[in-house]
Amino acid sequence: MNPLKQFVVKPLLPLEIGGVDITLTNSSLFMMLSVLAGVLLVWGCTWRKRLIPSAMQSLVESLYLFVQKTAETTIGAHYKPYMPFMFSVFIFVLMGNALGLVPYGFTFTSQLIPVGAFALLGTIVATLCGIYHAGFGWLRTFFPKGIPAPLAPIIIPIEMISFLSKPFSLTVRLMMNMIVGHVLLKILAEFVIDLGVFGVFPLLFACVMIVFELGIAFLQAYVFTVLTGIYLSEAVNQH
């Protein structure tokens, strides 16, 4: 069986309103489930806060402190206004990565459009923050101070390409990591089925790989959040 077949977007509930196609697909379904899972995780584990936290409350608080430390490290002293956005980015990507490992699940973080849209959103937020803090001086991003004016025709296009490549690099990094891991798991699963009773060793290795993929899911959510924080830092701390 083709290991890439698991990444095919399939319609689940055809819908059209006013000539606009809003069909529910497996990708959009798992995006909604990721949002729901994130909300339930944070709200469900913290709605009854305790002085001595339960295990689940400790888990959520640890995740929040982890993202807070990341935001403070990347953005600096002015990180607090951006914490809700960065924490939302982290939880959404983490849930999307993790739900893709559930049997019969779908990894929407392996898809170009949803990941690209989310990466583009981060770039737009960073741009708006830069304009808010520096006004039109934000345009200095494309031509930093101290560079001789005759170099402008060279420097400005280079800086613009660098800026526009940010959402692309975010997208490709997350997509490829998710695709490679899931393809490997699919191939191992095929071995387990084909070998029958002798498939116990591939099965054990597949179980180890699932744990490894959970670690990758967390790591990629972290990397996505770190890069988002770096882009925000470039906008907020521009001189």
Task: Convert the pLDDT of each residue in 38-74 to its tens digit.
Answer: 999 888 877 777 777 778 888 889 999 999 999 999 9
Picking from 200, 212, 186, 208, the residue whose alpha carbon sits closest to that of residue 107 is 186
When pLDDT is cut at 50, 70 and 90, the band that residue 198 belongs to is low
**Mean pLDDT across the chain:** 86
Query: What is the chain's Cα-based Rg?
Result: 21
The predicted model scores a pTM of 0.87
Q: For residue 82, give Cα distances in angstroms to 79, 89, 120, 122, 171.
A: 6, 11, 17, 11, 21
When pLDDT is cut at 50, 70 and 90, the band that residue 236 belongs to is confident
Picking from 93, 52, 48, 39, the residue whose alpha carbon sits closest to that of residue 70 is 93
Of 57-61, 87-91, 203-207, the range with the highest mean pLDDT is: 87-91
Asked whether residue 219 carries a pLDDT value surpassing 70, the answer given is yes
